[in-house]
Amino acid sequence: MDAAPSGIAWEAIHAHDDQPTYQAVLDQLSVNDVVLDIGAGDLRLARQMERMVKKVYAVEVNAGLLEDVGVLPVNLIVICADARTLDFPADITTGVLLMRHCTCFRLYADKLRKAGARILKW
């Protein structure tokens, strides 16, 4: 499995922090979706998605990005883990991946299909 070279702050280099990018994802979601947000970072997109969908699982490997998330709504479940090795929740319908540096698209797509998700948005 590919891993990010140590010492590189991928989040700072590749963070999707523009609302048009988020809006492109939000526009594709429906109220009954159960979303798996792979590489959720500081939860900016996950917090927007949870307001419009049934549930969001936000997966982030970097625990430091999750230290100050505060109180979370009940339908936003944060999982600090490596998505490459994590067993994806069985109830997901949609996967979201906004990581430009990702080299594991095929792995994630296969895992999402196996878990029953019908869509991968990135």
- pLDDT at residue 20, as a whole number: 87
| pTM score over 0.85 | no
Distance CA 117, CA 29 (A): 13
Write out pLDDT tens, residues 108-121.
989 999 998 877 77
Write out pLDDT tens, residues 79-91.
999 999 999 999 9
DSSP assignment of 73-118 equals: -TTEEEEES-TTTSPPPTT--EEEE--TT---HHHHHHHHHHHT--
Write out pLDDT tens, residues 1-45.
444 444 445 455 445 567 888 999 999 999 999 999 999 999 999
CA atoms within 13 A on the CB side of 16: 23
- The model's confidence at residue 105, banded by pLDDT at 50, 70 and 90, is confident
- pLDDT at residue 3, as a whole number: 45
Give, in order, the Cα–Cα distances in Å from 53 to each of 48, 90, 102. 9, 16, 25
**Domains plus CATH for the chain?**
11-121 (3.40.50.150)
